[in-house]
Every structure is written in structure tokens, then in C-alpha cells.
A and B are shown apart, each in its own frame.
Chain A
């Protein structure tokens, strides 16, 4: 598999604090990468750099070998990178269809009328909801506020899939979700890969990561400490040791929360 995205020697300072220290990180075509690390390890910063939320202090980003300049979230979207945050970045007052097409609404009729093509939007939205596995008959005109957390994540994933984002970044997508909803989101992620998309999956719950990813990358104190862990050949305990940097004995001595 070739690299879809490659971040090379990325360093990021917040004032005097070095949040990322010469990090190189890649995602291959049709690959789900689990990005793990303790609080403050640099996961969020790395994702913010890739999604255009913050600029890197140094380093470069390549997409399919070509260097790109990502300075904003719209730059990232234009380069095929879509980020789905915990709150899904949806407008809760708007309908599913209106959210899916926000910023890229299809129009119908004379240009000066600026009229949205509701028929197309509703039809495509219904198809997408089925495609990401929502079997419940939810009208595409339903406001996002009326959906469950898992359904909201599904809408965000559906949006990324529809606009052919090459890379979908999921930042803690299973936080605050119930068991069934979490299962649904994990299925959506597998479905995205099966449809030809690559994903970066960030979650505190290592069990969720192990269920869907092809490869695990671990960050600790702003550096990559492991970048090719195969979840089929490694145990959760081993990965936890890498994340914390502790020995077996040290980890065993930690208080249980």
C-alpha cells in the first residue's frame, strides 16, 4: 500500500512548550490507523495540524507524494481531509440534508434565484444514511438536534464519504456513546474503509481502537514511540505499556480507578 498522507518532521510549539517534536506520521491508502497516547502526548495537536486548525511550526505534509499547504480547515477539506470531532461539527438546528450539503448546496433553476435543490439533497441524504448503516427510517428533514450521539456521528461520516474525502479523521468518536451506538460507529468506520477511504481513529478506549484499526501509532510526550503496531499480533496490555512508558511491574502497581 502506498502512502496517502505523510507528515514529515512536524514540530509544533505553543509558546515555549513543544507539543510535537520532529514527528513523522503516515496513513496509507484504505488503511485505518489508530492514534494512541496519554493525555498531553500530542495526538490532538498532530490532528489539528493535519486538519488545518493550527499551523505547524516546522515540517511538511504530503498527499500522495505531493507537498500541500494546509492553513485552514477549508484547505484540509479541499485536499480531501475531513475531521469528525466529538461534537460532530454539525449545526444542530439544521436538518440532516442541510447539514450534509452545508457549504456545497446543489442549486436548481436560474443562478440568481440561488435556490437549493431540496429534492436531490433529501434523496442523497436518505441514500447516505442507508449506506452508513442507519436502517431506522429517519426523514432527511429531521433536525440534527433530534438525533442520538451515534446517529450524529453517522451523519458526519456520511458527509465525509459523500464528498469523497480521502482521509477521515475521527477524534474520540465513541465518547459519551452507549454500547449499541459505539458498535454502530465502529461499523461506520469499517464501512468507510471498505468504500475506499482511509481513517485516523483516536480514542481513549483502547478496546474500541483494537476492534477496527489496521495499524497503531503511539505518541508519548510529543514524539512517536511506535508506529507499526499490528493489533492482531499485539495485546492491549503491551500497547498500554508503550503508551505509558512503564514496565509491567510499574503498571501493575498503579492504583485502579
Chain B
């Protein structure tokens, strides 16, 4: 948790618990152990699990989920969540490529418009939640249907072509591929790492991060201290939608197709990644490091069970079991830590 990074002077009593106990008490510890176990087990059963080809194939899709999960972490820490991210993922790519393919605007401008429209969708979500006091579950469920419906209506359900992106600088900037040794990597990995570092900094080091945690932990107390709870949530809803749009655009360029149906069901998988990582579903506590671990756990799980010969249709059984197990672990650790003082 963030607290470990706060500095101490000689006058300030330090946490005197043994190092191991402090490590175990962190919400990221359980996901880290699970991730290591998964890698060891999958590699032991099928050594190709860590082969350059498999790693190169797994990474790009993983980081696209990751971009959404990082923003969702901040939003969930503030006590809200967004079910429309999967729809925005599909819609934004469709919007960008429709604008470009129709010859209306150049690709970089179409990209900016797609991100801006997504942010606007987030703003509408946020206004419904903060002004009308409607739970984010209902607001974003409605928005999910509106956005997905719009994407299907505009395209008649057909994918938009994106294979003419190859010679565009913005496409290379977002998803250009390169090699490190035998590994083929994409620029999206760089954007994911950058976003993780920035979001970690925001949540743990900044005044705004303190407000995010307070808004989710005890909004009434936060308001009483002068924290702009509603404004904080509005910004996070916009960020969440904008990051979903970025992920959707990246995915569309990588797969050479902007499908209006893409992203269906992603919202629940993204929320599962965040929760597995140790962020509290009801808000107040969030961890970016945990989310990064959660993203890799779910994506490696999907890849690994296929590689070891388990039918892909059984994937949800394992995911459900992991979510239940990690919830029990996080709940148990929290109770133990607080009872221990």
C-alpha cells in the first residue's frame, strides 16, 4: 500500500512489525504469490508457456486490458465503477475509423476526437452519478447500451477497415512493433507502463490521490474537510472512458479491424482484474501495483489453461474461483491487520 512509501524522520515512530508480517499484510502480496504460482505451474506442465512466441502473443492483448484496468482502479477507489468501458472500447475505434475512412478528418484528428467523445461519455456518466445521485451501476449500465447501440447503428454492424493505418505516424506511435531479442513487442506496452507509473504516482503521492481515497472511504467526511468529492469523481469517470477509448483504438490498429461489437464483456473482466489485485469494490482502498498483477493473473490464466490442455470453455470456472479466493484472502488480511493493533 501507499503508506509504505511515505518517509520517516527520526522523530516519527516507524512501523515496528517484522518485515515478513508487513509484506504479508500488503494487499498486493496475495496476487503476487498467485501470479508466481501460475507461471511456475503452467511452465512446468508446458515449457512453451514462457516461449518468446507465446509471450509476444500474450502481451499486446494484456496491456490493452491493462490500460482500462488502471483507470478503473482510480474510479473504484473513489467508490464508483464503470460498466460502459467495454462499449466505449468498441465505439471509439469505430468512430475514429469512420471519420478517417469517410475522408472527413486526418487520422490524428480523428484519434483526438474519439478520445474527446469518450471523455464526454465519461462526463455524462459522472454527472448522472454526482448530480442525480443515481448509482454508477445503473448509470453506466444504461450508457453501455446507448454506446454499444450507437456503434452498431452507425456501422450497420459491420467492422470498419483499419488496414490503411500502416503508413500513419500515429498508428506507429500507438502500436508500432519492435523486437527485443526474440520477443516481438508493441508500443502499447510502453504506454501501459507509463500509465501505470503515472497512476501509481497520482494515487499514492498526490493531494488528488488522497482525495480519491477519501471520496471512496467516507465521502461525507471528505466533503466536510473541503474535498471536492463530486469533481474528483467526474474527472475519474472521464479518465476511465478516455482510457477505454485509447485501449480500443490501439486494439483496432493492432488487429486491423474496428468491430462495433469488440469489447463486449470486457467491463466485468476489467473489474475482476482490479478487485483481484486488492482494490476494494466499495472504495476507499486502491492499489495500482495490485491491478497490474491482477491484469497479468487473468490474462495468463486464459492463455495458460489453453496451453496446458484444459478446454477454453472452462476458463470462467477458474476465474470465478480465483475471484472468490482472492476476495476471501483480502477480507481476511484486512480483518487480521486491524484486529492486530
Residue positions of A touching B, CB distance < 8 A: 73-74, 77, 89-95, 97-98, 101-105, 107, 113-116, 118-119, 121-123, 125-127, 137-143, 145-147
Complex: A91 Cα to B282 Cα, angstroms? 13
Assess whether A73 is in contact with B223, with CB atoms less than 8 Å apart. Answer: yes
**Given contacts A116-B206, A123-B11, A143-B3, A102 and B222 within 8 Å (CB-CB):** yes
Within 8 Å by CB of A77, from B207, B209, B226, lies B226
User: In the assembly, what is the distance between CA of A105 and CA of B27, in Å?
Assistant: 25
Alpha-carbon distance A177/B140, docked complex (angstroms): 42
Q: Given the known A-B contacts A115-B206, A118-B7, A143-B3, are A91 and B12 also in contact in the complex, defined by CB atoms under 8 Å? A: no
- Evaluate contact between A102 and B210: CB separation under 8 angstroms: yes
Q: How far is the CA of A118 from the CA of B3 in the complex (A)?
A: 10
Q: A92-B218, A107-B207 are in contact. Are A141 and B284 (CB under 8 A)?
A: no
Residues of B within 8 A of A101 (CB): 210
Q: Contact between B3 and A89 (Cβ–Cβ < 8 Å)?
A: no
Interface size class of B (residues with CB under 8 A): 35 or more
Q: With a CB–CB cut-off of 8 A, which chain B residues contact A142?
A: 15, 341
The interface of chain B, by Cβ under 8 A from chain A, is: 3-9, 11-16, 205-211, 213-214, 216-218, 220-227, 280, 284-285, 337-338, 340-341
A91 B217 Cβ-Cβ under 8 A: yes
- Contact across chains for A92 and B217 when beta carbons are under 8 A apart: yes
Pair A89/B12 contact, Cβ less than 8 Å: no
Q: Are B224 and A89 in contact (CB under 8 A)?
A: yes
Report Cα–Cα, A253/B318, bound state, in Å: 68
Residue in B9, B208, B340 whose beta carbon sits within 8 Å of that of A119 in the complex: B9
Contact call A105/B217, Cβ cutoff below 8 A = no
Query: Are B210 and A122 closer than 8 Å at their CB atoms?
Result: no
A103-B225 contact given A95-B3, A122-B6, CB 8 Å threshold: yes
Assembled-state Cα–Cα distance A138/B341 (Å): 10
- Residue from B213, B218, B337, B340 in contact with A90 in the complex, judged by beta carbons closer than 8 Å: B218
Distance in Å from the Cβ of B288 to the closest Cβ of chain A? 16
A145 touches B338 (CB 8 A): yes
Which residue on A lies nearest to B14, using beta carbons? A139
Q: Are A139 and B13 in contact (CB under 8 A)?
A: yes
A147 and B341 form a contact (CB under 8 A)? yes
Enumerate chain A residues within 8 angstroms of B207, measured Cβ to Cβ: 105, 107, 114-116
Contact B206 A114 (CB under 8 A): yes
Would you list the 10 A-B pairs with minimal beta carbon distance, nearest first?
A103-B225, A146-B341, A93-B284, A91-B217, A103-B226, A137-B13, A89-B221, A141-B3, A114-B206, A93-B217
A18 to B279, CA, bound (A): 46
Flag if B13 contacts A127 (CB, 8 Å).
Answer: no
Task: For the complex, give the distance between the alpha carbons of A196 and B227 in Å.
Answer: 27
Please pick, from B11, B213, B217, B222, the residue contacting A127 in the complex, using a CB distance under 8 A: B11
List 28 contacting pairs A-B, 8 Å CB cutoff, sorted by A. Answer: A74-B224, A77-B226, A89-B220, A89-B221, A91-B218, A91-B222, A92-B284, A93-B280, A93-B284, A94-B210, A94-B284, A102-B225, A103-B211, A103-B222, A115-B206, A116-B210, A119-B7, A122-B7, A122-B8, A125-B12, A138-B13, A139-B12, A140-B13, A141-B3, A141-B4, A141-B15, A146-B337, A146-B338
Most-contacted residue by chain B among A102, A119, A138 (CB, 10 A) = A102
- Is B285 a contact partner of A93 (Cβ separation < 8 A)? yes
Evaluate whether A141 and B6 lie within 8 angstroms (CB atoms) in the complex, with A91-B213, A93-B213, A93-B284 already known.
yes
Bound together, the chains give a CA A114 to CA B211 distance in angstroms of: 12
The closest CB in chain A to the CB of B286 belongs to A93
In the complex formed, the residue of A with least CB distance to B219 is A91
Say how far B164's CB is from chain A's closest CB, in angstroms. Answer: 38
Bound-state Cα–Cα, A248 to B315, Å: 76
Residue picked from A114, A121, A146, most chain B C-beta under 10 Å:
A114
**CA gap between A121 and B224 in the complex, in Å:** 20
Report the Cα distance A74→B205, complex, angstroms: 25
A113, A138, A139, A141: residue with the most chain B Cβ atoms closer than 10 Å: A141
Choose from B5, B15, B205, B338 the contact partner of A139 (Cβ within 8 Å). B15
Instruction: Give me 6 other A-B pairs in contact (C-beta within 8 A), A89-B220, A122-B7 excluded.
Output: A116-B207, A116-B209, A137-B16, A140-B12, A145-B338, A146-B341
Within the assembled complex, what's the spacing in Å between the Cα atoms of A123 and B9?
Answer: 7
Chain A, Cβ-Cβ closest to B206: A114
> Within 8 Å CB of A116, what residues of B?
205-207, 209-210
Contacts of A147 in B (CB 8 A): 341
A105 to B210, Cβ gap below 8 A?
A: yes
On whether A115 and B15 interact (CB within 8 A), knowing A94-B213, A122-B8, the answer reads: no
Please give me the residue from chain B that is nearest to A145 by CB atom. B338
Least Cβ–Cβ distance between A253 and chain B, in angstroms? 43
Q: Whole-angstrom distance from the CB of A94 to the nearest CB of chain B?
A: 6
